[in-house]
Copies of this chain bind each other. A is one copy, B any other.
Amino acid sequence: MAQDTRERLLDQAEPLFAERGFYGVSIAAIASELGLTKQALLHHFGSKEKLYGEVLKRISARFEALETASAGSDPVERLIAYLLALHSHDRFSTDATRILMRELLDNKRRADTAGTWYLKPFLEQLIAMVQAIPNWRSASVSEALAMVYQLLGAINYFGISQPTLTGIFGEPGYKALESAFPTQLERLIRSAIASRP
């Protein structure tokens, strides 16, 4: 039951932090949504910062679980599968995408936070995946990273854009875009890979 409340607090905190950012949410707001006082939350996590850290930790753990999913043979297909998995993961847990994007924006200031470089193993793996591709074998780290980071940007930027795009193009407009996206994304990935002479 103890772990239960802890988990439920994290479950409440995640979407709130995603939507309003660290400063935009009070610990009282998080706790009260479960019918608890903020001191119950402080009992479990000690401080707001630590709570946020736990949320971050949980998210990056969930992301790491994705890695195994894309085991395959051909390096090109592996990379594509991985990136497409990332995209569909984004669509299911937009909160995570949003929080990580916020972290990207905020971590200049909170550079001390441990979770700051959650991206590191991630990016290193991606670089390795790129360099495993025949015509990218001779690519420098920077070159490989630049390419893959652009794809990552394409995926994650779209992942946080739903409200805005719906606002601009309407619900049906967004739906159409959403269904056109993966095909287009795969095309982009393939051509990005193939683009190297």
Binding site for B on A (CB under 8 A): 19-24, 98, 101-102, 104-109, 111, 116-117, 119-120, 123, 140-143, 145-147, 149-158, 160-161, 163-164, 167-169, 173, 176-177, 179-181, 183-185, 187-188, 190-192, 194-196
Say how many copies of this protein the assembly contains. 2
Contact in complex: A109, B188 (CB < 8 Å) = no
Question: What are 26 residue pairs bridging A and B, where the CB atoms are less than 8 Å apart in the complex?
Answer: A20-B23, A20-B109, A21-B21, A21-B23, A21-B24, A22-B24, A104-B164, A105-B105, A111-B163, A116-B164, A116-B167, A117-B168, A141-B173, A142-B179, A145-B169, A145-B177, A146-B181, A149-B158, A149-B177, A150-B181, A150-B185, A151-B154, A156-B157, A187-B195, A187-B196, A191-B192
Set of chain B residues within 8 Å of A117, measured between Cβ atoms: 164, 167-168
